[in-house]
Amino acid sequence: MPRVHACVARPRVFATRASTRVSRVRASSLPTLELPSVDATREREKSFARALAAASHRYGFFYLTGHGCERACEATLEASRAFFDLPDAAKREIDYRASPCFRGYVADGLENTNGRPDRREQIEFGAEGTYRGRACENHYERLIGPNQWPTADGGRLRREVERFQGEMERVSRRTMRYLALGLGLNEDCFDATFGDAPNVQMKVCRYPPTSDGEFGVGEHSDTGYLSLLVQDDVGGLQVKLPDSDEWIDAPPIPGALVVNLGEMIQFATGGYLIATPHRVRNVAPDFGRARYSVPYFWNPRLDYRVEAMKLPEDLPWCRPKPPSYDSTASHGGTNKVLDCYGENAFKSLARSHREVMERHHGDLQILPDGSVVKRDQATTRV
């Protein structure tokens, strides 16, 4: 069991210095951090690392600038807009329901988050691989498979997405190394978590404007380690402050990625880092535009099983409640975090895409806490 750090009993507040480049306009604002340049001094890197660890502990959310991926981000947004402008028949050629590994086009209202249909359309992508179906030793290995790519756009979206994935991997690996440094650990301590086969996922999304501000995606927390989001200038992302019922807006900042932490790194750090619930409320139609976004998920390899990390005893604790490491605040507090990343990832997809489960994974059953088991084992687990 990941330990609860002794410093929890002595709440402290992180000092904010100009050198950390963390800006807080008011208590509820998310911090903005600038990634050091490749030729930055060691002192600048350490300052950034401390600010990164502070933001990841206190909020689990922050803006990241200085990443150098602006062109790839904008090109991917433009290619996704072009895809969503295609006729429905062209989009449905890559219908995700044909994919047992949950890849492809998801029409508006087909995904379910926290028990309610989402008001968005999207394409789901993952790491390329060969699907082996029920021959897999572990059910989560069924997530390995090919992506579905549109052909009606002449391959434009595929080119931009694959370029974007390369840029996001570079930023993700750098961010994880700085986070390790900020936690007082060896810079390479997270490297084995991902290895050469991280289970990278991403989406391109379109949220239609609605008359009553429906939720494009309901309250949830991400399953992996790190999520990086590109959003256009429309807005709608909302973040639930840790240990609070307060929701705040995370409006677009030109050139900035929105970054948040996932369930597995919360588990690994004994709750010191936090997987913060978030949602998207669709913008009212008088704005006249849909919202487009591109979320990228930097996740461990599928067979990674989380182990408790030994964090320094003098890390300050500045959230009011004791840490929770094996559950999150989403799904009404019933979201159990599983120690195997592949099981945690399959759990999330199975909950959200019931039709894919029925079509391709009828031998599996979802338990109330989100765990997925063989049907013949379900009665012993309930």
Q: What are the sequence ranges of the domains in the chain?
A: 6-381
Say whether pLDDT at 9 is over 80. Answer: no
Mean of pLDDT values over 329-349: 74
**Distance between CA 207 and CA 209 in Å, rounded?**
7
User: Tell me, what DSSP letter sits at residue 135?
Assistant: G
Q: What is the pLDDT of residue 2?
A: 36
Instruction: List phi, psi (to 5°) of 304.
Output: -65, 130
300-325 pLDDT, tens per residue? 999 999 888 999 999 999 888 765 55
Which residue's structure tokens are 């030793």?
A: 137
What number of other Cβ atoms are within 10 A of residue 114's Cβ? 18
Encode pLDDT of 210-265 as tens digits. 877 788 899 989 989 999 999 999 989 999 988 788 899 999 999 999 999 998 99
pLDDT (0 to 100) of residue 116: 83
Q: What does the pLDDT look like over 26-45, one tens digit per residue?
A: 334 899 999 999 999 999 99
Using DSSP's 3-state secondary structure scheme, residue 328 falls into strand
Q: Which residues contact 215 (CB under 8 A, 6 or more apart)?
A: 116, 118, 119, 279, 280, 281, 282
Entry pTM: 0.87
| The pLDDT value given to residue 15 | 31
Phi and psi at residue 17, in whole multiples of 5°?
-120, 155
CATH architecture of the domain 6-381 equals Sandwich (2.60)
End-to-end CA distance of the chain: 22
Which pLDDT tens digit goes with each residue over 105-139? 999 988 888 778 889 999 999 999 999 999 999 99
Residue with tokens 């301590």: 189
Position 335 scores a pLDDT of 59
Nearest CA among 335, 249, 252, 259 for reference residue 295: 259
